[in-house]
Amino acid sequence: MTVDRRRVERLRADLLQWYDANRRDLPWRRTRDPYAIWVSETMLQQTRVETVIPYYERFLERFPDVQSLADAEEEEVFSLWAGLGYYSRARNLHRAAGEVAREHGGELPRSAEALRGLPGIGRYTAGALASIAFDAPEAIVDGNVIRVLTRLYGIREDVGGKEVVARLWREAERLASGERPGDLNQALMELGALLCTPRSPHCLACPLTRSCDARQQGDAAELPKKAKKAAPKRLEATCALIERRGKILITRRPERGLMAGMWELAGGDLLSDAGETPEAGIRRALREHTGLVVKQVTLAGKVSHAFTHRALRLFVFRCDAEPGRVRLNGPQAHRWVRPDALGEVPLGKATRKALALLEVATEERA
């Protein structure tokens, strides 16, 4: 055995020993069901563990297997996903379940290559599923793993660079090659989550301290190196609470684009560059997108919401509309919904913030 391979084996042994003694008791670690692991890995993308747990448990209670998810209506899937964000994950999970049910007999493919052929499953998720569910020696590289590996091996170049990305995958593949690849991959992620944290890493408690280049050089907190992110694009939009006979008008967004397929209060983008005021904007948006003409407009306030690359400021109104039918131009569908039934509809976080604002405004007026 070469010196290099002996080092990898020592690292694997130290990681697995630490993981066995320190891993968190998480619901998806109590099962070997590939479907349940798939759901968890999809939900955990860019989302904190403590946020995911209740969603994961509710989702599996309603959709306990691939077939039940494949048979569901997309809107019901969205309603259970609402609040997790990144709704394309839910859409792809639903689409992939249909494909697995039709073409694979309801059983997930076992190889990473075959898994990557399913909607929404990329290199990371395929490696996670293949290693954790099927014990295949496949690597994973996510934010936690990048942090651990750049510090461990002293990688001080921009981690977004093509050559650096390739090296990170090579190092991860070497570590995954051996017994218990799924546990090894989870150990890397767990180490990044619990000890090798972005700020103030707990180096003294780390099982890899003696082997860590960044620890020896004293720059662990400065790694990984990342190019500065571009400032998020600023958006301004309007929405309105319109009631008729005790029901609220909501519209469904198009199937493509930001918040695709989600329901929201009627409204639209504000033409800020053209100097449009929020009040003029809501009147225009309602007229253009729903065919409704409003006779009274009251600003309830505004809410802010951050998307991955966008920062939204949403002006929230109460409006009285003239009599007339809704004629959509842009939104995919509309509904009149009782206020107490809004919780059953897949609404985005920005809309939920707007409704909370309206509720507070109502209480203050009462």
Return the active site residues: 41
Residue 203 tokens read as 């180096």
CA dihedral 23, 86, 337, 313 (to 10 degrees): 120
Instruction: Kindly state the tokens that stand for 254.
Output: 């198009």
Which phi and psi angles does 140 have, rounded to 5°? -135, 145
Encoding tokens for residue 239?
Answer: 């929405």
* Positive or negative torsion for Cα 195, 199, 204, 206: positive
Q: What angle do CA 234, 235, 237 make, to 5 degrees?
A: 155
| Location of structure tokens 């942090």 | 147
Residue for token pair 């509809």: 345
Contact between 151 and 136 under an 8 Å Cβ cutoff? The reply is: no
Beta bridge partners of 247: 244
DSSP states along 195-228? TS-SSS--GGG-TTGGG-HHHHHT-GGG-SB-PP
Q: How far apart are CA 281 and CA 334, in angstroms?
A: 20
Instruction: Determine the Cα–Cα distance for residues 244 and 116; give it in Å rounded to an integer.
Output: 48
Neighbours of 17 (CB within 10 A): 12
Whole-angstrom Cα distance, residue 14 to residue 12? Answer: 6
Amino acid 56 reads: Y
